[in-house]
A and B are shown apart, each in its own frame.
Chain A
Amino acid sequence: MRDSGATTASDTAVMLEVSNGDVGQLGVLFDRHHRQLFGFFVRMTGSPAVSEDLVQDVFLRILKYRKTFRPDSQFSTWMYQIARNARIDDARKRGKDHFLDEAQLDASGLAVEPADTPRRQEADLVRRALADLPAEKRELLVLARFQGLRHKEIGKVLGCDTGTVKVRVFRAIQELRRNYLRMTGEKVLWNAHK
């Protein structure tokens, strides 16, 4: 993440305490990171309820696997590796990599503005364009755009080199643009039809 080195070191130091058995210290890391994680999951799944469960699952996994945390690794990178696995396992359990459809949006609380405002309509188009991406591409964009991870850090999360991340993020944004333009065209056609 684009935090200062001091914050990163502090996370690592706290995690090492957790790793050495002081599990109560995990609360410090929860307070620091749960909102970011929630945002990651909401943008990946479209469901706040599922995302809340996944945040708890990530911290439970951190507890379980605390001994595997290495002092030379960055906590946020390790946390997002766990978060990815938690999301993939959850998607597998549910049988699909779901993302809320339009009908579910109002009930979910994700749609924070009335449906007829231009901003909300624009937001819906972007959300649908994002939802139409394969999960791997959506994940890359979320990590790069919202979670504040640089390409090098994303490479560590995904287990690939920085150059590969750069190319994949670029392809993902190109595909997002294609989806968005397709949907904009559909909207124009729909309005003309009305």
Chain B
Amino acid sequence: MECPQVSEQLRDCFGDFMDEATRAALRTHWEKCESCRQEARSLLDVWEKLDLVSVPPGSGDPRSRFDAMLASYRQGQADAKSVVLRDWLSGGWWPRQALAQALGALLFLLTGLVVGWQSGDGGQTLGLEALEGEVRNLRQLVALSMLEQRSASQRLRGVSWTAQMDEPDAEVIASLLDTLDSDSSVNVRLAVVDVLGHFGDDPRVRGHVLASLPRQQSPFVQVSMINLLVEMRERRSVPLFEQLAGSESVHEAVRDRALWGLSELS
């Protein structure tokens, strides 16, 4: 074994497995090469000295703290469920703005008409289709209206309405993409990324997510978008992932995720 190889093999001495043959080859080399021996000895000396950095016992009773944390988490979960149910029962499912309320009422009326029509005379196919189209349009209008609300929770509801649509029209998609770019709430933008996953076949969605990723400020959103691009198998993201993975100015979690994305797409 020559000096450069020894230097290479030395890397395995610090926390990784080294087979006996390599160990023996290193020893043989060190016996005849003074500089390599000194280099290895000084590094291994510091490596072993790390043992001196002791860890004191903790001060409290960690298990009791953990139990308290777990109990509090369970209580919080139970409370959250009852609050959601109470909120829903007290009308939390109903939009608060007058226009959205009116559209919602109209939506219910038309849904009732469609159901009534279906259970009555089945021969009115043409009218039925027209009514179903109206219902679809109204649902989209409600969603668009909610996406414009000032309250982030209302906008979140708007995003979840769009998730229920099989084929949202161009205006809804455009509104979602606009929300992704400009909404001030990270939670709303994250919800949009989730919903866009349903429409991953749409080339506008794929292209826009790709273009929007480097513009996003929140690492949470960026990581979520990387996940989405990988899920959509969007191979055009490879150069962008490479750029993100190599950039020091990008958040470490995003760099790591971009590296993961590269491994998934390569």
- Whether A63 lies near B73 (C-beta < 8 A) is yes
Measuring CB to CB, which residues of chain B are less than 8 angstroms from any residue of chain A?
10-12, 14-17, 42-43, 46-47, 49-50, 52-56, 58-60, 62-63, 65-67, 69-70, 73-74, 252-253, 255-257, 259-260
User: Once bound together, how far apart are the Cα atoms of A146 and B252, in whole Å?
Assistant: 23
| Contact A123 B54, CB 8 Å, known A159-B260, A173-B46, A177-B42 | yes
In the complex, are the beta carbons of B53 and A151 less than 8 A apart? no
> How distant is the Cα of A149 from the Cα of B14 in the complex, in angstroms?
11
Chain B, Cβ-Cβ closest to A151 = B16
Identify the 9 closest CB pairs spanning chains A and B, nearest first.
Answer: A144-B15, A159-B256, A123-B52, A109-B56, A170-B11, A177-B46, A151-B16, A39-B55, A166-B11
Residues of B within 8 A of A108 (CB): 56
Q: Are A160 and B66 in contact (CB under 8 A)?
A: no
Is A169 in contact with B15, judged by CB distance below 8 angstroms? Answer: yes
In the complex the two chains form, is A48's CB within 8 Å of B59's CB? yes
CB distance from A18 to the nearest CB of B (A): 11
Q: List 30 A-B contacts (CB under 8 A).
A: A23-B74, A27-B63, A31-B63, A34-B63, A34-B66, A48-B56, A48-B59, A49-B59, A56-B62, A56-B66, A59-B69, A63-B73, A109-B56, A110-B54, A122-B52, A123-B52, A127-B53, A129-B46, A130-B53, A144-B14, A144-B16, A145-B14, A145-B47, A150-B16, A159-B255, A160-B256, A160-B259, A166-B16, A173-B46, A176-B46
Cross-interface CB contact of A38 among B50, B58, B67, cutoff 8 Å:
B58
Interface residues on A, range: 35 or more
A141 located at the interface, meaning its Cβ lies under 8 Å from any Cβ of chain B in the complex: yes
Nearest CB of A to B13, in Å = 9
Q: Which of A126-182 contact B (CB under 8 A)?
A: 126-127, 129-130, 141, 143-146, 149-151, 154, 158-160, 166-167, 169-170, 173-174, 176-177, 180
B69 close to A60 (CB less than 8 A): yes
A119 at the interface (CB under 8 A from B): yes
Chain B CB within 8 A of A115 CB: no
Closest-by-CB residue of B relative to A122 is: B52
Query: A94-130 toward B: CB 8 Å interface, digit per residue (1/0)?
Result: 0000000000000011101000000100110011011
Known: A130-B53, A158-B256, A159-B260. A151 touches B46 (CB 8 A): no
